[in-house]
């Protein structure tokens, strides 16, 4: 499917050397970013800056390097290249390459300053020297945020300084959500957005600030606009789905990630890149959206594509990791425990512990559900051994998620072995541990939410009222997730609350407006006369 968008770099410039004037690059947005380079180099710099705001780091670096060739003394072009090596919300940093980019300007701060002729540009230089200076990452990130705060305060009309300040604040969380920090960043980005609603950084950082189930309604305006601001950026097409997932807007999730995938495909074709440049992250979210909508056949197609790409890449870590998660999500959401997808061979030995844990839980859950208790026990032992022998430090949320998944699998094994009391105790521990995790964005991690699983276990034990409580807690973290809604409807019905069960069936029927005709879960929902009267559309 071809995109009709233009990804050219038509630039509309006016008086850039003397003031803050609008600059638009078609398909990437509009910013004011005056610099002191030559006219041709400034045009390339602006393209790089817009790409940087949309986290298109590789293309941004290319634009900044081209600007350097146009004007070898253009300090801000080297600043831009150095900025592409820091990916704060992904908790990724290439310190050596970043410092190398700065060193090409000059060996010392004093030598570099001569290439930054204005006070404002020198402020950008001071900030990035702090970011890539001495000390550990946490201390440098905090110091960088303070430097950007000072720059934004000194130049209140420089919306890019304010934007990068907002982003720097989000980066101080080190990948964990701190509402106080995120709302402070949001307040800065909101002001930028009100002054320039076509600023890609403002819309982008607002989405990141709000992409949790509590604050997501505040991010809808930015989500709707960002895709239109930067249609040429694959990441900008994906980002609105951060808000859509948090609100359970599954049709919008699918549309956003289809657009992101297609934009990336066009870029690959245009630049003749390898399949490693495909938008696999967006593809994972696309598959999750299909599954929530009951479009299992389309979800299976995405899994097949991912399996083919993994084979074509020779099993690269990136493709294997994405294949692992897509397989896990497909099996868990469809509950096809004996599907061929379970038997896809994936080497997890060199993948992160969280990825391996997801694989262990998925395979163990499938073994339990198909009555193969001995296989489930073996997988659990392998899981425990892998966790005990893994020394690589992980982010707090990742460590907690691994612990939750281990307890989930152990509880399932105990339940299958007839040890229900101990299984319930473990699930109480698992849910308490997940509650300690900061709210994540996107498809759930752990891949099987612990409150949802606990609700299902309690239903098996004929404790529907307790199950109902856990399904409701699960929905607070993953709104409109269909397996949770289905579990809640079952718990309500078995508790004697047929009205609530029917209300949930109606909601599920609306979500599955275009579901596969043979979807088993849809048949369960449409059993009642009420849903038959409403006439759920079938594919």
Burial of 19 (0-12, 13-18, 19+ CB in 10 A): exposed
The SS3 call for residue 314 is coil
Token output for 534: 């409403």
pLDDT given for residue 392 in this prediction: 66
CB 211 within 8 A of CB 479: no
At 11, give phi and psi (nearest 5°).
-120, 130
pTM: 0.91
Intervals of the chain under pLDDT 70: 1-25, 392-394, 527-539
pLDDT given for residue 2 in this prediction: 38
Query: Concatenated DSSP letters for 382-425?
Result: HHHHHHHH------HHHHHHHHHHHHHHHHHHHHHTT-HHHHHH
Please enumerate in sequence order all residues whose Cβ is within 8 A of that of 534, keeping only pairs 6 or more positions apart, or say none.
Answer: 506, 509
The pairing of strands 23-25 and 29-31 is antiparallel
Burial of 537 (0-12, 13-18, 19+ CB in 10 A): exposed
Please enumerate in sequence order all residues whose Cβ is within 8 A of that of 151, keeping only pairs 6 or more positions apart, or say none.
Answer: 120, 123, 124, 127, 158, 161, 165
| Separation between Cα atoms, residue 410 and residue 327, nearest integer Å | 21
Q: Which helix (H) or strand (E) holds 133?
A: none
Closest to 285 in 3D by CA, of 257, 260, 266: 257
Cis omega (within 30 of 0) for bond into 526: no
The SS3 call for residue 93 is strand
Domains annotated on the chain, with CATH: 11-229 (1.25.40), 352-448 (no CATH)
CB 130 within 8 A of CB 143: yes
Task: Give how far Cα 166 sits from Cα of 46, 151, 371, 461, Å.
Answer: 19, 12, 51, 49
* Backbone Cα Rg of the chain: 25
Q: Which helix (H) or strand (E) holds 480?
A: none
Burial of 6 (0-12, 13-18, 19+ CB in 10 A): exposed
| Separation between Cα atoms, residue 359 and residue 375, nearest integer Å | 14
At 448, give phi and psi (nearest 5°).
-115, 100
CB 401 within 8 A of CB 437: yes
Count of CA atoms in the C-beta half-sphere (13 A) of 478? 25
pLDDT given for residue 8 in this prediction: 36
- Among all chains, which residue has been given the structure tokens 């038959």? 532
| Separation between Cα atoms, residue 87 and residue 239, nearest integer Å | 15
pLDDT given for residue 479 in this prediction: 97
Burial of 96 (0-12, 13-18, 19+ CB in 10 A): exposed
CB 423 within 8 A of CB 415: yes
Task: Give how far Cα 79 sits from Cα of 57, 113, 302, Å.
Answer: 13, 11, 39
CB 475 within 8 A of CB 485: yes
| Separation between Cα atoms, residue 278 and residue 286, nearest integer Å | 13
| Separation between Cα atoms, residue 454 and residue 446, nearest integer Å | 13
pLDDT given for residue 5 in this prediction: 36
| Separation between Cα atoms, residue 391 and residue 278, nearest integer Å | 31
At 172, give phi and psi (nearest 5°).
-70, -15
pLDDT given for residue 532 in this prediction: 45
Chain CA centroid to CA 228, Å = 19
Q: What torsion, rounded to 10 degrees, do the Cα atoms 234, 240, 243, 247 define? A: -110
Q: What torsion, rounded to 10 degrees, do the Cα atoms 451, 455, 460, 465 define? A: 150
Measured in residues, the chain has a length of 539
The pairing of strands 23-25 and 11-12 is antiparallel
| Separation between Cα atoms, residue 538 and residue 536, nearest integer Å | 6
pLDDT given for residue 26 in this prediction: 72
Token output for 526: 């449409």
Please enumerate in sequence order all residues whose Cβ is within 8 A of that of 454, keeping only pairs 6 or more positions apart, or say none.
Answer: 427, 428, 430, 431, 467, 470
The SS3 call for residue 128 is helix
At 45, give phi and psi (nearest 5°).
-60, -45
Token output for 55: 């986290």
CB 42 within 8 A of CB 77: no
| Separation between Cα atoms, residue 40 and residue 491, nearest integer Å | 66
pLDDT given for residue 174 in this prediction: 87
């Amino acid at each position: 499917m071809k995109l009709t968008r233009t990804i050219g770099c038509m630039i509309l410039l006016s008086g850039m050397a003397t003031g803050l004037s609008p600059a638009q690059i078609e398909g990437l947005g509009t910013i004011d970013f005056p610099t002191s380079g030559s006219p041709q180099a400034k045009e390339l710099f602006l393209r790089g800056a817009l790409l940087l705001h949309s986290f298109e780091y590789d293309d941004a670096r290319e634009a900044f390097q081209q600007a350097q060739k146009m004007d070898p003394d253009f300090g801000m072009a080297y600043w831009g290249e150095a900025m592409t090596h820091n990916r704060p919300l992904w908790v990724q940093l290439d310190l050596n390459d970043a410092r190398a980019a700065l060193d090409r300007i000059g060996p010392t701060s004093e030598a570099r300053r001569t290439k930054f002729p204005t006070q404002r540009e020198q402020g950008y230089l001071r900030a990035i020297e702090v970011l890539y200076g001495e000390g550990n990452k946490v201390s440098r990130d905090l110091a960088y945020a303070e430097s950007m705060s000072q720059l934004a305060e000194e130049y209140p009309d420089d919306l890019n300084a304010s934007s990068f300040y907002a982003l720097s604040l989000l980066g101080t969380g080190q990948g964990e959500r701190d509402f106080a920090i995120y709302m402070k960043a949001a307040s800065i980005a909101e002001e930028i957005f009100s002054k320039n609603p076509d600023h890609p950084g403002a819309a982008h950082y607002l989405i990141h600030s709000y992409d949790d189930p509590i604050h997501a309604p505040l991010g809808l305006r930015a989500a709707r606009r960002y895709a239109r601001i930067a249609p040429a950026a694959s990441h900008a097409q994906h980002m609105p789905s951060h808000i859509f997932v948090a609100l359970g807007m599954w049709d919008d999730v699918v549309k956003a990630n289809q657009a992101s995938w297609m934009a990336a495909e066009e870029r690959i074709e245009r630049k003749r890149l390898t399949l490693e440049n495909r938008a696999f992250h967006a593809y994972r979210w696309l598959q999750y959206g299909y599954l929530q909508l009951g479009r299992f056949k389309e979800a299976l197609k995405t899994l097949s594509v991912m399996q083919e790409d993994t084979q074509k890449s020779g099993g690269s870590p990136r493709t294997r990791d994405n294949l692992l998660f897509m397989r896990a999500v497909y099996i868990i959401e469809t509950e096809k425990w004996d599907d061929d997808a379970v038997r896809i061979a994936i080497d997890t030995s060199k993948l992160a512990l969280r990825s391996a844990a997801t694989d262990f839980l998925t395979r163990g859950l499938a073994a339990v559900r198909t009555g193969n208790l001995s296989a489930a026990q073996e997988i659990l032992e392998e899981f425990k051994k892998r966790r005990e022998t893994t020394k690589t430090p992980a982010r707090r949320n990742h460590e907690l998620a691994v612990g939750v998944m281990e307890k989930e699998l152990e509880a399932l094994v105990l339940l299958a072995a007839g040890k229900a009391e101990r299984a319930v105790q473990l699930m109480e521990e698992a849910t308490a541990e997940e509650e300690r995790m900061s709210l994540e964005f996107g498809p759930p991690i752990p891949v099987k939410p612990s409150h949802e699983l606990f609700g299902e276990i309690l239903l098996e034990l004929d404790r529907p009222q307790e199950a109902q409580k856990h399904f409701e807690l699960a929905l607070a973290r993953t709104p409109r997730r269909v397996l949770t809604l289905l579990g809640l409807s079952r718990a309500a019905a078995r508790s004697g609350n047929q009205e609530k069960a029917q209300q949930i069936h109606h909601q599920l029927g609306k979500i599955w407006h275009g579901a596969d005709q043979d979807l088993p879960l849809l048949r369960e929902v449409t059993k009642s006369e009420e849903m038959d009267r409403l006439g759920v559309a079938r594919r």
